[in-house]
Each structure stands twice: as structure tokens, then as C-alpha cells.
């Protein structure tokens, strides 16, 4: 971004800084009403009239196109899976002042002059589960700019076109940008204060670039909380919940669901579920306890090369030990029994883990599952492992 452009950006926004800072120091978020909007007019009616006062939490119930800057002032703008197209009236399409924007798509269509997608002008703010795009032919000075503190979680910002000297991220002074997870065109960075463009900004502490993800544009950042990645049309969408990722991938044509672990991705995700059951049976007038461990890997059977259960002697092992109860096969769901437990061991805890080896060559272990015998429930036990 050139010095001339940066000065213009600063001039446009500087006049608002003192009033916003005073506002943020004097106000804190209250329990606001949640308002659902379906039209540009309804959204416009929720914008602050003056003084940047905190207003209601807003939920979109429809795709909306607006020709004004959207303010998120100490509240949450929940896009609710919809697309908000903005032709901004004041340089930035969205101004966040101690609030949050989440769950949808924002398309920026700047009319003229300095242009920024989302601007955290004050307060501690957050962008989460948002895809940011530019309209066809539109160019931005910065996709995201920060004056105070902004956390960016699970966002996708690949379809963003920048001006010749533009950058994906920018800040002023001691502002803090925490890029925790998501897919970004790049991590180019500019300082509005020093009017310089640095090569890149680093991901937030603890977050890293995914090592082995092919066919995706830009850079994919994963946090320690990232459980899955959905890839579609050259873009990656990161998730902290595997169940949400699986549900989204199921309804998106051509989407690929990937499991993330240890900063690598695996093409065949494993979602472990487990149950236990216990009771006792009588053999030759002697009571014996039996414990059944049931596991379900959530993987289709034709993608499994091997699977099984190992009985172990503690809950804090790193690698399971071989045991007489080792069970192998190629099933998605299976169980194993510990039998002939003497009544003297009624208070003993028993442990088991399961594994599957999938056709992509990776092996996934379940968490350790524990169970104690139940010598109060008589069962008709026929035995066997499946």
C-alpha cells in the first residue's frame, strides 16, 4: 500500500477514533435484544444513530445487499449462514467496535477511495466462521484492519482481490491481530502507523500452517482446537467441531472431509464412539463377572484395512500393550469382552482401547475406556467377540 493511500486511509478514519475510544471506555455490553432482519431497511434501522452506542444483537434471516457501512458495536452480527453484500459508505464495509461477526459470507464492493473489508476500530473483537470476498472487479487496500485487538477464527479469505500495494492484514500502533485458524490468500501485512508493508504476519501463538494439504489456494492455518477441514472448490474451511464439519460436508456437492491431528490432515476421518456394559454369570455354581467394551469408528467398512480392541492395565498409557483379549478384523463397529472376572475383583477397574487402520494407511486409536464389574446384575452370557 503506498504512502499516499495510507495517509488517506488514516485521514478518513482518524476523526472517529477519539469518540469511539471514549465510548468504549464508558460502555460495556449489556443483555441486548436479539433482532432478526431480512431486508436492507431492517438492517439499516438497527445501525447506531450517533455516539456509537451499543445496540441489539443482529441475526440475518436472508441474503441482504446494502449500500451503507455496517457497524457492529459491542454486539454480535450473526450472518446465520447468509451472504451480506456491502457497498460501504465510509471506506470499510464493516466496523467492529468490541463486537463479533460470525457464521456467513461478506462480499465487499467498494465504490471509491480507500477500501477495507472489516475494520476493528476499537475494543476486543472477533471474526469467526466468516468467508470474506470481494465483488467482481473490486479491489481492497486491506482485507482486515485492526486498531485494537482482533481474533480471527475459522475464517476463509481466499477470494479477496487487493490493490497493487494492498495487504491482507493491517494494523495501527500496538494493535493485536490473532489469526488462529482458517484459509487465507496469504498473510501479507502492512502497518498503518509506519506506512510500511512487511512480508507476512505470523499465525497466533500455538497455531500453525497445515503441512500436507494439497489442492487448496492460499495458506491454511490450524489451531490446537482444529478438529477437521472441509475442502471445496480450492478453499478450505476449518472446524473446531468434527460433527459440524461432517454435517456441512454432507450437504456440499464435491466437498472433501479431512481429519486434522498433529498439524496434518487425514483423508478418512475417524469419529470414535464407545459404550460399556457389565454383569455377572454363573458357571459351575461360581459367579464370574463380564465386561463388554463396544466401539464404533464411524468409518465405512470398505475403507477399513484392520480394526480391533486391546485390553490394557491403565488409563494413562501412550501405546497399548498386547493382551490375550486382542481382537482384530476389518469392522467399523465391534466389541470385546473380559470374562471370568473373580468376585474378589469387584472393585477393580478394567481398561480397553480400540483402533482402526484405514485405506489411506493411517491408524487411529480411541481414547481409553474404563469399566468396573457389576456383580448385582445377572445376565445370560453366551460369550464371544465381534
Residue 7, pLDDT score: 37
Q: With CA atoms as reference, report the closest residue to 54 among 101, 84, 99, 118.
A: 99
| CATH assignment, 273-371 | 2.60.40
Residue 235, pLDDT score: 95
Residue 213, pLDDT score: 82
How confident is the prediction for the chain on average, in pLDDT? Answer: 82
Residue 19, pLDDT score: 38
Rounded to an integer, what distance in angstroms lies between the CA atom of residue 240 and that of residue 231? 15
Mean per-residue pLDDT for 128-134?
97
Range 133-138 contact pairs with CB under 8 angstroms and sequence separation of 24 or more? 133/105, 133/106, 133/107, 133/108, 133/159, 133/160, 134/107, 134/108, 134/109, 134/159, 134/160, 134/161, 135/85, 135/107, 135/108, 135/109, 138/108, 138/109, 138/110
Rounded to an integer, what distance in angstroms lies between the CA atom of residue 213 and that of residue 175? 31
Residue 201, pLDDT score: 83
Q: What is the pLDDT of residues 241-300, one digit of tens each?
A: 888 888 888 788 888 888 887 666 767 777 788 999 999 999 988 999 999 999 998 888
Rounded to an integer, what distance in angstroms lies between the CA atom of residue 158 and that of residue 238? 13
Q: Is the model's pLDDT at 22 over the cut of 70?
A: no
Residue 297, pLDDT score: 87
Residue 6, pLDDT score: 34
Residue 365, pLDDT score: 81
Which has more pLDDT, 261 or 340? 340
User: 52 Cβ partners below 8 Å, 6+ apart?
Assistant: 19, 20, 23, 71, 73, 97
Which has more pLDDT, 308 or 57? 57
User: 54 Cβ partners below 8 Å, 6+ apart?
Assistant: 27, 29, 30, 32, 73, 74, 75
Q: Which DSSP category does 366 fall into?
A: P
User: 138 Cβ partners below 8 Å, 6+ apart?
Assistant: 108, 109, 110, 115, 161
Q: Is the model's pLDDT at 336 over the cut of 70?
A: yes
pTM of the shown model:
0.69
Rounded to an integer, what distance in angstroms lies between the CA atom of residue 180 and that of residue 178? 6
Q: Which three cell numbers stand for residue 174?
A: 500496538
Q: Is the model's pLDDT at 142 over the cut of 80?
A: yes
Going by pLDDT thresholds of 50, 70 and 90, the confidence category of residue 25 is very low
CA atoms within 13 A on the CB side of 363: 11
Going by pLDDT thresholds of 50, 70 and 90, the confidence category of residue 17 is very low
Q: What is the pLDDT of residues 174-215, one digit of tens each?
A: 788 899 999 999 999 887 655 455 557 889 999 999 877 888
Of 4-13, 281-290, 341-350, the range with the lowest mean pLDDT is 4-13
Mean per-residue pLDDT for 147-171?
93
Q: Is the model's pLDDT at 115 over the cut of 60?
A: yes
Rounded to an integer, what distance in angstroms lies between the CA atom of residue 360 and that of residue 259? 12
Q: Is the model's pLDDT at 112 over the cut of 90?
A: no
Rounded to an integer, what distance in angstroms lies between the CA atom of residue 366 and that of residue 310? 11
Q: What is the pLDDT of residues 30-74, one digit of tens each?
A: 456 899 999 999 999 999 876 567 778 999 999 999 999 999 988
What are the structural domain ranges in the chain? 3-205, 218-267, 273-371
Q: Is the model's pLDDT at 317 over the cut of 80?
A: no
Q: Which three cell numbers stand for residue 86?
A: 456491502
Residue 86, pLDDT score: 97
Query: What's the Cα-to-Cα distance from 129 to each of 6, 80, 99, 244, rounded to whole Å?
Result: 29, 10, 14, 12
Judging by DSSP bridges, how do beta strands 176-179 and 149-153 pair with one another? Answer: parallel
Mean per-residue pLDDT for 7-12?
38
CA atoms within 13 A on the CB side of 364: 27
Residue 359, pLDDT score: 77
Going by pLDDT thresholds of 50, 70 and 90, the confidence category of residue 385 is very low
Secondary structure, 3-state, 146-167: ECCEEEEECEEECCCCEEEEEE
- Rounded to the nearest 10°, the torsion over CA 267, 242, 270, 311 is 150
Q: What is the pLDDT of residues 74-107, one digit of tens each?
A: 899 999 999 999 998 778 999 999 999 999 999 9
Residue 263, pLDDT score: 63
Residue 314, pLDDT score: 63
Mean per-residue pLDDT for 362-380?
89
Residue 231, pLDDT score: 92
Amino acid at each position: 500500500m503506498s504512502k499516499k493511500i495510507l495517509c488517506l486511509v488514516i485521514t478518513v478514519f482518524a476523526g472517529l477514533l477519539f469518540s469511539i475510544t471514549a465510548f468504549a471506555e464508558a460502555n460495556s455490553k449489556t443483555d441486548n435484544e436479539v433482532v432478526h432482519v431480512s431486508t436492507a431497511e431492517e438492517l439499516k434501522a438497527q445501525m447506531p444513530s450517533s455516539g456509537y452506542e451499543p445496540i441489539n444483537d443482529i441475526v440475518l434471516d436472508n441474503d441482504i445487499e446494502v449500500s451503507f457501512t455496517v457497524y457492529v458495536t459491542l454486539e454480535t452480527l450473526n450472518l446465520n449462514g447468509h451472504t451480506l453484500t456491502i457497498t460501504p459508505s465510509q471506506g470499510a464495509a464493516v466496523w467492529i467496535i468490541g463486537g463479533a461477526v460470525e457464521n456467513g459470507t461478506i462480499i465487499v464492493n467498494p465504490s471509491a477511495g480507500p477500501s477495507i473489508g472489516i475494520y476493528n476500530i476499537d475494543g476486543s473483537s472477533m471474526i469467526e466462521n466468516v468467508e470474506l470476498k470481494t465483488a467482481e472487479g473490486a479491489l481492497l487496500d486491506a482485507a482486515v484492519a485492526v486498531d485494537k485487538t482482533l481474533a480471527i477464527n475459522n475464517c476463509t479469505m481466499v477470494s479477496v482481490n487487493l490493490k497493487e500495494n494492498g495487504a491482507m492484514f493491517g494494523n495501527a500502533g500496538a494493535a493485536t491481530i490473532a489469526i488462529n485458524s482458517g484459509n487465507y490468500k496469504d498473510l501479507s501485512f502492512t502497518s498503518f502507523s509506519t506506512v510500511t508493508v512487511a512480508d507476512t504476519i505470523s499465525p497466533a501463538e500455538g497455531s500453525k500452517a497445515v503441512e500436507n494439504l494439497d489442492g487448496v489456494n492460499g495458506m491454511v492455518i490450524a489451531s490446537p482446537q482444529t478438529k477437521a477441514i472441509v475442502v471445496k472448490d480450492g478453499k478450505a474451511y476449518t472446524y473446531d467441531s468434527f460433527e459440524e464439519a461432517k454435517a456441512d460436508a454432507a450437504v456440499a456437492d464435491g466437498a472433501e472431509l479431512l481429519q486434522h491431528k498433529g498439524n496434518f490432515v487425514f483423508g478418512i476421518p475417524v469419529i470414535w464412539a464407545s459404550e460399556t456394559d457389565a454383569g455377572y454369570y454363573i458357571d459351575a455354581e461360581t459367579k464370574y463377572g463380564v465386561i463388554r467394551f463396544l466401539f464404533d469408528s464411524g468409518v465405512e467398512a470398505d475403507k477399513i484395512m484392520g480394526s480391533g480392541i486391546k485390553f490394557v492395565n491403565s488409563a494413562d498409557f501412550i501405546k497399548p500393550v498386547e493382551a490375550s483379549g486382542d481382537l482384530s478384523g476389518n469392522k467399523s463397529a465391534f466389541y470385546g469382552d473380559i470374562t471370568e472376572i473373580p468376585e474378589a475383583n469387584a472393585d477393580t477397574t478394567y481398561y480397553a482401547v480400540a483402533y482402526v487402520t484405514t485405506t489411506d494407511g493411517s491408524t487411529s486409536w480411541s481414547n481409553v475406556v474404563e469399566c468396573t464389574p457389576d456383580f448385582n446384575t445377572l445376565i445370560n452370557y453366551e460369550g464371544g467377540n465381534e
